Amino acid sequence: MSQNSTSDFQALNDEIASLAKAGLPLDQGLEALSRDLGRGRLAKVTQNISQSLKAGKTLPEALDIESASLPPFYAALVASGIRTGRMAEVLATLTLHARTLADLRSTLWLALLYPIMVMVAALGLVLFLVSTLVPRFSVIFKDFGMRLPWLTQTLISLGDNPVINILLPIGIGLGLLLVIWLVLRSSTGGRHFLSSALYSIPGVGTLIRSVRLASFADLMGILVEHQIPLPEAIRMAGEASSDPLLREASRNLEERLSKGESLGVAMRSEKGYPVMLSWMAGWAEKRGNLGNSFRQASEFYQRRAETRALFLKSILPTVGILTTGLLVGVIVIGGLFAPLLNLLEGLSK
């Protein structure tokens, strides 16, 4: 689920839980909610569910009609809650899952935001030096007809037109990366390649992978605990994941389980699942506590994500600041003041 769809799902689930707990009619309550929301995707979905309920559909059937806008597991879990008389528990659990997912994504973005800000600030500082300081030194060097080292000549060339010489190449490079990303995203093989490349980035790859695995394992625990058949639970959790490798592995695993293979053996045969998760699932299957095992696995990957995020937030900004200082030192000392000192030394003789 995307960040927007997650927040929409949480808002809708909270409203249904509140109406059910208060014993109020869902169709009228959701219709009133849709009017309060005004426009937007959530308002449209809420209105459609209300109309389906008025037409005599059950809540799971109404949710299933809106499956394109809601998570694939929602209708099945609500149906399970109604069947087992644990509707309030199911809705409360789904609210916790949505909040866990939001917290994990917040952990990811906060870990990456500060380093990105440092990089942008470094680029701005370099542009400032090249566009303001370098041209003034260039005038001095030209007036004295000095022979300049290649570093100073390069800086002067960049300072003549920093927009074309610096910003334009950066923009073209980012544009090419965007085009390549869009092309790869359009095919299954390309999405797999992007995920594998992303996970291979030191530090960042482990963080993103851990966030996705934590979300997958948490949802699997919920589905299994509420008696969703295991093959169906695997498929739903895979479809809800933002990891294309997990999605494909889950589709393959569903087929294997439907043919009678054990969960542990089947998971170990799929490369999309890490060894740790496969081992925990296989062991829990034998002991009969699969739901709790997936919950424990989710907590394990959450802790790993938080640890990695803390490491990145402490290391990457430091590296960025040191790199910026080194770059500024090269520009100011090596490219500008070194020739200026040579000029002053020549004039003093």
Q: Which of 23-27, 125-129, 159-163, 187-191 has the highest mean pLDDT?
A: 187-191
**348: pLDDT strictly greater than 70:** no
The residues of the chain that CATH labels 1.20.81.30 are: 97-167+204-349
* pTM, two decimal places: 0.77
In percent, the amount of the chain with pLDDT more than 70 equals 97
Count other Cβ atoms within 10 Å, centred on residue 25. 12
Q: Which of 296, 234, 310, 224 is nearest to 270 (CA)?
A: 234
What single-letter DSSP state applies at residue 273? Answer: S
Mean pLDDT of 304-313: 86
What single-letter DSSP state applies at residue 261? Answer: -
Mean pLDDT of 257-272: 87
Torsion of CA 11, 17, 19, 21, to 10 degrees: -150
- Show the tokens assigned to 17: 């839980």
Q: Which of 206, 233, 199, 218 is nearest to 312 (CA)?
A: 206
Distance CA 49, CA 46 (A): 5
**54: pLDDT strictly greater than 80:** yes
**22: pLDDT strictly greater than 90:** no
- Give the model confidence (pLDDT) of 196-238 as tens digits: 888 888 888 888 899 899 989 998 998 888 888 899 889 888 8
For position 4, what pLDDT does the model report? 46
For position 179, what pLDDT does the model report? 94
In the chain, DSSP finds a helix count (H) and a strand count (E) of 18, 0
Count other Cβ atoms within 10 Å, centred on residue 305. 25
- Topology given in CATH for the domain delimited by 97-167+204-349: Receptor-associated Protein (1.20.81)
**144: pLDDT strictly greater than 80:** no
